[in-house]
Chains A and B, each alone.
Chain A
Amino acid sequence: QQQVKQSPQSLIVQKGGISIINCAYENTAFDYFPWYQQFPGKGPALLIAIRPDVSEKKEGRFTISFNKSAKQFSLHIMDSQPGDSATYFCAAGDSSYKLIFGSGTRLLVRP
């Protein structure tokens, strides 16, 4: 049973466009929702994170939107660049100190 569902599996966006990746969760005990970025041959690295008491968080071109009632959150990448081409993972964590990850989205930004 997948606790965190992520879509789409892959995404192709033109340079300058907006990339949108969505995640949904079931466990209402989750209280921390990060997004990770992974380049080939590397480990995932934290990109941005949000807590459920905030509906939106923005850091540069990256924005998390959070809908607590729908138990959904999404990552928006504005002005997408070829250097953003990577695999993105959403995750959710609770007081047990561990993160549960989504299945990942492979993003390709075309020049």
Chain B
Amino acid sequence: NAGVTQTPKFRVLKTGQSMTLLCAQDMNHEYMYWYRQDPGMGLRLIHYSVGEGTTAKGEVPDGYNVSRLKKQNFLLGLESAAPSQTSVYFCASSYRDSILEEYGYTFGSGTRLTVV
């Protein structure tokens, strides 16, 4: 039972390069999210998805694109990396239990990205 798996775990990019971060969940969750974590800033929502084929902007979407072609996968793309995108990126998936009234967020272990 893997939960939420993020690949890669570490990456160093040069300014202007592109890359895709992959998030995969095996819990059949409807909702998926990408957050970035920076010192003193907490977790800030980049983009999220409420179902297969849907995406929406979060708090800090500029410079990122996402796609959710399959329910279990949520991809985060950086088209032209900038040093300001150096961060730890976390993917999460969730359900919303109407009975327990819980969000049921499960986070991956993160991707540490450095842009030089």
User: Residues of A at under 8 Å CB distance from B?
Assistant: 6, 9, 32, 34, 36, 41-46, 49, 51, 89, 91, 93, 97-104
Contact = CB atoms under 8 A, between A and B. Distances in A.
A98 B48 contact: yes
A42 B37 CA distance: 12
B105 A46 contact: yes
A43 B42 CA distance: 12
B68 to A, nearest CB: 14
Given A32-B103, A41-B109, A43-B109, A97 B44 contact: no
B4 to A, nearest CB: 8
Given A32-B101, A98-B45, 19 more contacts: A34-B103, A36-B105, A41-B110, A42-B109, A43-B4, A43-B90, A44-B90, A49-B103, A93-B103, A97-B50, A98-B33, A98-B58, A99-B103, A101-B42, A101-B44, A103-B40, A103-B42, A104-B42, A104-B43
A103 B43 CA distance: 7
B107 A43 contact: yes
Contacts of A102: 42
